[in-house]
Every structure is written in structure tokens, then in C-alpha cells.
Structure 1
Amino acid sequence: MTVIAIRTEASRTIGVGHAMRCLTLAAALRERGAQVHFICREYDGNCNEIIEARGFAVHRLPATGNAAVAWSGPDWPEEAAQTRAAIDALGALGVQPAWLIVDHYAIDEKVERELRSGVGRIMAIDDLANRNHDCDLLLDQNLVPRMERRYEELVTSDCVQLLGPRYCLLQPLYVELRNQTRPRVGAIRRVFAFFSGADVDNLTQLAIGAFLRHSRSDVELDVVITSAHPRADSIRAQVADHPNIHLHVDLPTLAPLLAKADLAIGAGGTTSWERACLGVPSLMITMADNQRPIAEALNERGIARWLGHKDQITEASLAAALDAVLRQELDGSWSELCYATVDGGGAARVCNAMLISASTRLRARPAGAQDEALLLEWANDPLTRRNAFSSDPIAPQSHREWFRARLSRPHSCLIFVVETEAGVPVGQVRFDREHDYWEIDYGVAAELRGRGLARPMMEVALDALRATTAGAQVQGRVKQANVPSQRVFERLGFSSQVDERGFVYRRKA
């Protein structure tokens, strides 16, 4: 059994977002057969009991540091020693974690380096790109400017980076409900408001006040808080005499309410991606500085409307922004932009990146029309484009015409999708007939790079080619700078020569 340890935190000042997204990932990993253990401090407002209630063990560390300051804990040597003791306790039970997941803004490469010898691999979950990491896998699920280059100087070159909303850690219910929702069209009849588990600035009451200014009895408002909200009693009193305002406390998930909403009002963070996954247009108020670049990107792309930072927003300004949206008829385009940003499959992709390895059994199947979008996604991956002899991005229509033409000519082009026995696609291998040789083109899914999959993927594809084309001769062309691909061909027994474009590798299939 694969054992995984997660070091994360929750408190009244930190909020619960980090712990909750780690819980989502832990549940997905458990579905794949992994055993997951949490390591968390006992800060006021922690999620330790929630984590245990969902069936995960929690190794509790003492609450040290300034409780009033977010992420204020002990100095890094003490943090490393205490976390290492928790990991060693697992070792005493006869299980060394195959992975340590770190979702903690106060932990950087110094602590990670100290912990490395006690675990197989390290995954860092980050949103800030403000510190170095000593990790094998890095996840940043945010949409920000220059996303692909954000961590260039902060991680080693062999660290696999999972960047952007396609890796958002959302509960499975979001995918289920996404398939049941439709773009929001017409008049807004239901509004949703949530400002994180902490909401120390009490934006919740500000949003309720802004809504009440409109006296719209034909519009419902769902408000979500936790029982730990600093103004919970005041909020209850504020909504008591308004039958169209519904207060929800300590919900296990926001998904059902979001699925019903026509419009949302909220902060940045994980909830941004939950709203987008379910196609909900939203008005966003940033609550922390690290949310600003995310809000800017979402606003620029029309996915959300950023009203400003918390200290810039008044009840009157929020009421005006809300009025502007309530007066308009939604045409569905706003929802469509949201749907296109987050598909809800992020947790599965992250699990694949962690659990699929060179020893995973693979199979190759012929590509079909249903694989068009997947192959375009792989083809336009930034690293794939850099390693290709033509580095320009491929337009969807051009790819469609090319792909359909190739599928119609199996005598001169064979495309295989390589997947696990469970049907998880890991990459593609294409063979194009060029005179006496079949030219090889291959690519591994971005989240699975660095796991040693290229060689076994090529092996099963070459087996599939032999089954259809006896005695085939194959060759591959590789840029001189693409050392990893050169090694793949060499280990598969290809002979090589150099020409003006780079290396040429040849052998019998």
C-alpha cells in the first residue's frame, strides 16, 4: 500500500482552504488505494477533527508562534524536527511515506531538504511563487500572468510542474453537478455569497447589507458561514426577518448551492475555481494580497468581475456593482467562459502524477475521433512545443483537419493513445510512413513527466505497430537539446546518426 503524509495547516487567521483542498486530494488518493496521514498544528480554528471525521489519521503538532499572525510558527529547524518526528513515527509502524505533500506557506526548501531522507518524494502545493522548493512535483492551481515561467528559478529543472486551473483540487461532486448544470441565461433569481471559512474582515455582513439595499423579494440569497465566524450571531440577526435570505452554517460542501446559483459574490482562493467549474458568474473581492494577480487574470479574461481589494469596498459600492448585474439579462457567454476554465478533473490528474510510475502496466489503442481534444491539448503543451521542430502553437481548426485526415489514412499514419489498464491516458505515439521508414512522434502527458514513462510507453506502441505492420522499420528525429528523448531512443536499442537537424534514431520495430 502506498503511504502518503500531508503537512498542512488551518486556523482562524489562516482559514481552512489549504486543509480542505488537501482533504479533497487525500480522498482521491484513498480511492486509488493509498493510505493518507495528516500532520497539522493545534491552532485555534484548526480542521483536525474534521479531517479525523473523514477517516484520516492526524498527527498533531503543538500550536507555537504568534496565533494572531497567519502562518506564524516555530523557526524552520524546529518545524523540520517536529515534522520529521511525525514522519518517523510512521516509520516506526513499518511504513515510510512514498510521498510527503506540503501545503504550507511557511515551509520552503530548507525544511523540505531536511525531510527528504524520510520520504520517497516530495510534492509542494503553492500559490505564491515567493520561495524556493526542494520538491519533485509542484502544484499551483492558479491562473496568473506568466504562469508557465513562475517557478523557473524556484525549483530544479527536473521538478514536474502542474500549473493552472486544470489541476484544481475540487471534490468529485463538482464534476457530477457540472454535468447537470447549464449556462446561466436570463434574469438572475438566486445569488450565492461566501467569503472563506475565516472572513476576519466580515465581508459577509457587507454583502448581505448590499443585497438588502435592493429590496428584491424576487431574488433569493444563499449565505454560507462557519460556526467559527467572528460575527455569526450578528449575521443571524441581520437575516432573521428576510425570508428570501437563507443562512447556511458549516456545510460539508458548497457545490449544491453553487449549482443552483445564477450569480456568486465571494473572495479569491479555491472558491474561485469551484464557482467557475459550475459555470457561475461571480463578483470577486480579494481578501489577501496573493489573491490580487489571480483576480486580475480572471477579470481580464471575463471569468469573474473583480470589484477591488477588501479595503476598497463599501456596502454602497458593492450594492452598485450588484445592481448593475441584477439589471442585465445573462446571455450564457459568462458561464461558458467559466466552464472553459475549470473542468473539475484536477484531483484525478494530480493523483495520476503521483501514483502512475514506470512499473504501471500500459496498453496502446488506436486513436479515434473522441481523442481529438486530448491530442490537441498534449500537442500544445509548452514543453512539447519547445521540443518540436516547429514550435508554433497549433490552432484547433488546423489540428482538426490534420487529425481527421490522418485517421482516414491508416496505411500511412498510425496514432496510438497509450493508457493504463484502468484507462488513464498517459501519452501518444504516432507513426508516419516516410518512404522505407515509419517516423516516430511521441509525447507524455505533462503531469506524468519525470516518472520514467516514455520508454515503457514507446515499447507498447512499438508492439502495437508490429502487430499491424510486420517487419516495419522505424526512425525518430530528436533535437540536439532534447537530451531526455535521446536517452529514451538509446535505451530502446536505436542506432543513431547526426544530421543538420539533430539526431536520427533507427531500428526495426
Structure 2
Amino acid sequence: MRIAFRVDASHQIGTGHVMRCLTLAGVLSAEGVQCLFICREHTGHLIDLICREGYEVLRLPQSSLPLQTAEEQWLGTDWRSDAEQTLEALRDAPPDWLVVDHYALEARWESILRENCGRLMVIDDLADRPHDCDLLLDQNLVADLYKRYESLLPKQSASLLGPCYALLQPVYAALHEEARPRSGQPQRLFIFFGGVDKDNLTQTALSALLKLDLSNLHVDVVVADSNPHREALEMLVSDVPNIRLHGSQPTLAPMLLAADLAIGAGGSTNWERLCLGLPTLVITLANNQRLIVDELNKRGLVRWIGDKDSIQVDALVAQISIFLQQPLDAWSASCLKVVDGLGVGRVCAALLANKNTVLIARSACQDDEVQLLEWANDPLTRRNSFSSGQILPESHHLWFTQRLAKADCQLYLIETVGGLAAGQVRFERAHSAWEVHFTLNPVLRGRGLGSSLLKTALDAFVKVKPGVVVFGAVKSENRASCRIFEALNFSLVSVVDADVAIYKSNQF
């Protein structure tokens, strides 16, 4: 398989885009996928960083024409020229997937590129423009997460939404298992404001710390090698033995795990800190961080202490002082529950899934409620259901809780080995037989997994209910579901008014 990444590699804005795509490419490459990048040669671009990681980069040149709009300046050309150049770069070897991670690209560009790739995935955080894609990934936690893209995607598009899909380096999943809630008052502080820190918030944070008693505190500060303020920062703390400045790191994970409290920005590092249970005081650097940090702050997962333009040293001193004197046990424990570090594996599973993908069944639990409601309200699922209306969260909660407690109901969640939820299968007793209902994750439609989904659940079910007869009722026009039953040797026993097909198994 061949996967291409069209990534914003500009130094000022694109660092987060490049890093998360490199993380995804690294896991895909380990699965035998050929990955390549397409980037424009902006001034100060990050293409050399991508090349050092061993990936081929198809370079798009800087435009010599005047750039009229903010989007053109961001993109480095107009969208149509970018689409034509990207199309030409891929023409000789169209990828199976094209992954697009660029805030200046939207549906018009994507529609042109879809002609020259198997499928197209967009990575977005903003929900501020339409897309024409097969799959959309937004790893953030915001208000109305499952509604914000409803009017921006085509009906056949599927979505991966929320921090369970956060593109973290694999080391985070391993360290998440080791992480424990912090106990007592903080003894180790971590400071990091991203690879550029053009506003020099690192100095603001250090200036605040230097006004406090640091005798019982060790401070680790990461300052990227490219940070123009590095020399001044070194001079600022040169005579403070318990503040240590570190250069660029291949991963922040060990320092995050060792720390008790962090001060940092509201970007993608949110998910790294949450994964390792690290309470954080957040300063937002851009408008697109505000919605995310606002939601995290409301949930008690971070403490938002202001925007970069409003932060004053004295106010920061007061905030830091408060949290240095408090035990952080409950806050840290809440953080650990949000991100498990397995997101990159789930995204890879979504990209690579096919009819041979191994599936695993487990009993559903209360934590699966939101996932099942999202699938149930998928437009195609609703059209194929006997009741086509949208399902309200309140009624779904009652229904789901009852099914989990019901003795004559077995509800399974089916997952890939990589941890991606593939669908749900439910068996409910109906007199002497059991009726089966199933839903495939919309992300996996068209991959030939429907029969495997149902068979995986049947194999688990007959271990606890041997000798059963299973039947299913589906709309006759729902040929995909009919073919699944037929592939598993269910017999068509009746058709009710030409609308409902009833399939029945032999005894298992």
C-alpha cells in the first residue's frame, strides 16, 4: 500500500501538522506501507526534518506571483495551482490514500485530488470550511464534537472524532500504563511552549518562577534548538541550579511522565500531557486553541490562565503559587482517563482495514455508550433502520443501560487488533431463538468487513449460549446486510410485504 501526505510544512505554522503526520507515517511504515510527503518550499520550511526521518518528499516550489489572500499566503500559491501541482506530482503513482493536513485546503482542492487517489483523509481541528473526503480525523475534545462537521462533509464521509484518535508517538501508549496520579504537592515542573515560541512565553513563565521560592522544586524547560531566544533564556537562569534548559527532544514523554505540574500552550501537546496524567496550566497561543482549551478547562482537565496577549508576569506568579501548594491527585487521575495513547494505532487500522483484518469481540460496557449512539445516528444507519428518526441521547442512555443489565441480551463491541471499534452486534432472546442486530462502524464501510464482524460476534456468543438458533430481520432493499447473512449461510425464510427479509441460521 502507498500513502501520500500533503502537509503544511511551513516553519511558523506547520510544525504540529508535520509532527503528527510523521507519527502516523512511522506506524504505517512499520506495517509495511510506503509513505511519502508532498510539501511546499516555504521560507524556513520543515522539509529537511521529514527527509531526516527517511521519507521521500515531493517538493512544490514557491510561487513567484503575488499572493492576494491570507489563504494564498498561507498555502504559498492559489488553491487551484496547488491542486494541479500536487496532482502532477502524484500522477505516475497514485496513492491508495491521500492524507491532507493543511488549514488552507478545502473541498474544491480535495475534489480535484480525489480523481488521482484511492481514498482521501483530511486531518482538521477547525471545522471552519467544507471538505470532500472519505474520512475526516479531528483528534480534539470540543463542545458539540459530533455535530460540528455535519454541514461540512458529504453524506458518504465518515469521521474519527476525539482524543481516542490522538496521533501520539507509540511511546505514550507504553508509558500510559506506567503513569499514576500525582500525589502530594508538586516537586517537579515542566515548561514547554512549542517548537517556535515566537511570543517568548518561556521567558514569561521563567520570570514568574524566579519570583517564587524554588528550593523544593525542580524545573525542566524544553527550548527548541531553533528558538531565537535561547541564549537570553540561558542567561536568565544561569545561576539557578534547579532550573534546567533542554534542547529539542525526539519525544517529550519521559519528562512529562516525571513531572508533577506543567505550564504550556494549548496545542497538540494537550493530548501528550493528558495521556500521562500531567496537570497543566495552559496559555493559549492562537484562536483555534481557544475552543479546545475552553472545553478542557470546563471539564477540569487543564487550568486555562489566559491568552498570550493578556498574560502578565505578576498574575502568572499568583496562579503558579496556588497550584504549587495544592495536592494534584484528583486532577491528575481525571487526566489519565481521557487519552490512552492508542490513537495512532486506531487511525492506522482505519486506513488499512480490509476483509482479512482480524477482529476481536468483547462484551460492551457503559463506556461504549457514546460510540454506539454516534453509529446509531449515522444517516445511512438511520435509513436502513425500521425506525428512521434521530435517537436522542436521553432515550439512548436508558435503552443502553437496560440492555447491559438484561439477562436475555448479549451486546458485543467488535474491535480490530489495533483497538479501532469496528462495530456492535446485539443478540436478544425472542421466544426459543435469538434475534441479532448489528452495526458496522461507518469508517469501515466498503472494506468487506461486514461478514467478519457478524461471524466474530457469533463465535463469541455460541461459547456462552451453545445450541442456539439465531435470526435477523432487515429491509429487503438493504442488500449489504442481506449479503452478510447469506455469506454466513443464513437461510432466507420469509419476506414480509416485500419490505422485510428474515434470515435464520441452523443451530449453532
Normalised by the size of structure 1, how large is the TM-score? 0.86
Q: Counterpart of 1:71 in structure 2: which amino acid?
A: W
**What CA distance in whole angstroms lies between the structure 2 residues aligned with 1:11 and 1:434?**
60
Q: Counterpart of 1:443 in structure 2: which amino acid?
A: T
Note the C-alpha offset of 1:271. Answer: 0.3
Q: Counterpart of 2:148 in structure 1: which amino acid?
A: R
Identify the residue that residue 138 of structure 2 maps to in structure 1: 140
Counterpart among 67, 75, 78 of residue 75 in structure 1: 78
Bigger shift: residues 243-252 or 68-77: 68-77
**What CA distance in whole angstroms lies between the structure 1 residues aligned with 2:396 and 2:238?**
54
Q: Is the 8 A contact 1:436 1:473 kept in 2?
A: no
Identify the residue that residue 422 of structure 2 maps to in structure 1: 426
| Structure 1 residues 372 and 220: CA distance shift in structure 2, 3 A | same
Q: Is the 8 A contact 1:198 1:229 kept in 2?
A: yes
| Structure 1 residues 110 and 233: CA distance shift in structure 2, 3 A | same
Note the C-alpha offset of 1:67. Answer: 13
| Structure 1 residues 399 and 228: CA distance shift in structure 2, 3 A | same
Q: Tell me the secondary structure at the aligned position of residue 193 of structure 1.
A: strand
Counterpart among 437, 442, 446 of residue 438 in structure 2: 442
Q: Tell me the secondary structure at the aligned position of residue 12 of structure 1.
A: coil
| Structure 1 residues 487 and 5: CA distance shift in structure 2, 3 A | same
Counterpart among 371, 374, 380 of residue 382 in structure 1: 374
Q: Counterpart of 2:481 in structure 1: which amino acid?
A: V
**What CA distance in whole angstroms lies between the structure 1 residues aligned with 2:228 and 2:50?**
22
Structure 2 portions without partners, runs of 5+: 487-491
Counterpart among 232, 236, 239 of residue 238 in structure 1: 236
Identify the residue that residue 302 of structure 2 maps to in structure 1: 304
RMSD: 3.2
Identify the residue that residue 167 of structure 1 maps to in structure 2: 165
| Structure 1 residues 402 and 112: CA distance shift in structure 2, 3 A | closer
Identify the residue that residue 88 of structure 2 maps to in structure 1: 85
**What CA distance in whole angstroms lies between the structure 1 residues aligned with 2:185 and 2:138?**
35
Note the C-alpha offset of 1:156. Answer: 0.6
**What CA distance in whole angstroms lies between the structure 2 residues aligned with 1:174 and 1:362?**
24
Identify the residue that residue 505 of structure 1 maps to in structure 2: 502
> Where does 1:15-414 land on structure 2 (aligned, <5 Å)?
15-64=14-63, 71-88=74-91, 91=92, 95-330=93-328, 332-357=329-354, 359-362=355-358, 367=362, 371-373=363-365, 376-377=368-369, 380-384=372-376, 387=382, 392=393, 403=404, 406=407
**What CA distance in whole angstroms lies between the structure 2 residues aligned with 1:279 and 1:400?**
29
1:69-89: CA deviations, max 9, x gaps?
Answer: 77241001111122112212x
Q: Counterpart of 1:281 in structure 2: which amino acid?
A: P
Note the C-alpha offset of 1:382. Answer: 2.0
Q: Is the 8 A contact 1:3 1:34 kept in 2?
A: yes
Note the C-alpha offset of 1:60. Answer: 1.9
Note the C-alpha offset of 1:299. Answer: 0.5
**What CA distance in whole angstroms lies between the structure 1 residues aligned with 2:213 and 2:461?**
69
Note the C-alpha offset of 1:281. Answer: 0.4
1:287-336: CA deviations, max 9, x gaps?
Answer: 01010101110110000011111111111111111111112222x11012
Normalised by the size of structure 2, how large is the TM-score? 0.86
1:330-353: CA deviations, max 9, x gaps?
Answer: 2x1101211111111110111111
Q: Counterpart of 1:61 in structure 2: which amino acid?
A: L
**What CA distance in whole angstroms lies between the structure 2 residues aligned with 1:179 and 1:208?**
31
Identify the residue that residue 489 of structure 2 maps to in structure 1: none
Q: Counterpart of 1:53 in structure 2: which amino acid?
A: R
Structure 1 portions without partners, runs of 5+: 407-411
| Structure 1 residues 400 and 85: CA distance shift in structure 2, 3 A | same
Q: Counterpart of 1:27 in structure 2: which amino acid?
A: G
| Structure 1 residues 341 and 498: CA distance shift in structure 2, 3 A | farther
Q: Counterpart of 1:183 in structure 2: which amino acid?
A: P
Note the C-alpha offset of 1:393. Answer: 5.5
**What CA distance in whole angstroms lies between the structure 1 residues aligned with 2:78 and 2:371?**
45
Q: Is the 8 A contact 1:15 1:196 kept in 2?
A: no
**What CA distance in whole angstroms lies between the structure 1 residues aligned with 2:235 and 2:359?**
61
Identify the residue that residue 453 of structure 1 maps to in structure 2: 449
Q: Is the 8 A contact 2:139 2:161 kept in 1?
A: yes
Q: Tell me the secondary structure at the aligned position of residue 39 of structure 1.
A: strand
**What CA distance in whole angstroms lies between the structure 2 residues aligned with 1:364 and 1:185?**
37
Note the C-alpha offset of 1:415. Answer: 5.5
Note the C-alpha offset of 1:384. Answer: 2.3
**What CA distance in whole angstroms lies between the structure 1 residues aligned with 2:188 and 2:28?**
35
Q: Is the 8 A contact 1:466 1:472 kept in 2?
A: no
Q: Counterpart of 1:354 in structure 2: which amino acid?
A: L
Note the C-alpha offset of 1:215. Answer: 3.2
Q: Counterpart of 1:163 in structure 2: which amino acid?
A: L
Note the C-alpha offset of 1:12. Answer: 3.1
**What CA distance in whole angstroms lies between the structure 1 residues aligned with 2:326 and 2:412?**
48
Q: Counterpart of 1:340 in structure 2: which amino acid?
A: K
Q: Is the 8 A contact 2:372 2:424 kept in 1?
A: no
Q: Is the 8 A contact 2:428 2:435 kept in 1?
A: yes
Note the C-alpha offset of 1:475. Answer: 2.2
**What CA distance in whole angstroms lies between the structure 1 residues aligned with 2:316 and 2:467?**
70
Identify the residue that residue 469 of structure 2 maps to in structure 1: 472
Note the C-alpha offset of 1:474. Answer: 0.7
**What CA distance in whole angstroms lies between the structure 2 residues aligned with 1:129 and 1:262?**
33
Bigger shift: residues 104-113 or 415-424: 415-424
